Structure 1
Amino acid sequence: MKSSEEISKKINLLIEKNNDAYKGFKKASENAESTHLRDYLLQQASERQSFAHKLSGNLKAYNPDFKIDTDGSATGSVHRAWIDIKATLSLDDDESILEECIRGDKASVEEYREFLTDYPTAASEISHTIKEQLHNIQSTLDRVKRLEDIH
């Protein structure tokens, strides 16, 4: 059985991932040419911020003594910088932005699935939240892939 501390650290990583996604979608919206794409990216940023909040609440209830890191990761900062570089150098900015969103969402899906595989006995409230968010991220990924095909 996995320790409470180990599960808490993994949940915290998912919180970081969502904070990174929030910042990434927000940054991507600043570079989007299409107003529809910009609005969509801002909506996704808001959703990821909500995901991080929900996971933080779950983590506080599960392990009240655990110190939650809400800043995001260094990897996320690099990814946002890469979105800026690609948008600046690309002839088709919106397509480049969508490609980076797809890449980021694929990584999120993988981390969520990894949590469910590695911690099948995690508290039911946490597992339910993780499954729900995974479903939403997967749906977003599918929509973004379709948007990329249009652009």
Structure 2
Amino acid sequence: MTHLEELSSTLNDLVLIHNDRIEGYVKSIEIVDQKDADLKMLFAKMISNSRGHISELGELIHEIGGEIENGTTTSGKVFRTWMSVKSVFSADDRTSILESCEEGEDAALKAYDTALASDAEMSADVRQMLMEQKSSIKTDHDQIKKLRDLHKSLA
């Protein structure tokens, strides 16, 4: 595998984790109560963030001659499990949903750690972009965790 193919594969792993992330937040929007408009808006923001990251990753993949993968991660790829389906569908309270979302954010952060630690050769600009995207996801993670902790303490 050439270094460009390896880089394309690494970037596509991140595209797939973002597709997982989008799917997880779409499911979350569908299951939260109508009264939880704040969560619906937050999840919509997370979806928008992932779409922006996919766009940036896609541009890089095309620049190096690769094709953007569609779909979500499969076993053996980056990190599986955006959402624990059983916990999301067995509990409809805010705390359970936020806990599942935090697990998804943990998976996304791990995917970035894996990409940044990979053997794929990447320019300083690519590495910087990945670090900025990871930072954005860390901010999202911390926001979800803060809300989860708040709702857990109120329960």
TM-score normalised according to structure 2 size:
0.82
Match of 1:69, as an amino acid?
E
Shift of 1:121: 4.4
Query: Conserved in 2, the CA contact under 8 Å of 1:112 and 1:134?
Result: yes
Q: Is the 8 A contact 1:109 1:137 kept in 2?
A: yes
TM-score (norm 1): 0.84
CA contact (8 A) 1:55 1:126 kept: no
2:140 is matched with which residue?
Answer: 140
Alignment: residue pair count: 145
Are the structure 2 counterparts of residues 124 and 77 from structure 1 closer, same or farther at C-alpha, using a change threshold of 3 Å? Answer: closer
User: Which structure has greater helix proportion?
Assistant: 1
Could you say what the CA RMSD is over the residues aligned between the two structures, in angstroms? 2.2
CA contact (8 A) 1:86 1:93 kept: no
Alignment of 1:22-101 (within 5 A): 22-33=22-33, 34-61=36-63, 63-64=64-65, 66-74=66-74, 79=82, 82-83=84-85, 85-90=86-91, 93-101=93-101
Q: CA deviation at 1:35?
A: 1.0
* TM-aligned CA distance change 1:119 to 1:78, over 3 Å: closer
Deviation by residue 1:116-143 (Cα, 9 ceiling, x = unmatched):
1224741233212101110011111111
In structure 2, relative to structure 1, the CA distance for the partners of 1:148 and 1:120 (3 Å cut) is same
Q: In 2, are the aligned partners of 1:24 and 1:45 still within 8 Å (CA)?
A: no
- For structure 2, the residue ranges without an aligned partner over 5 or more in a row are none
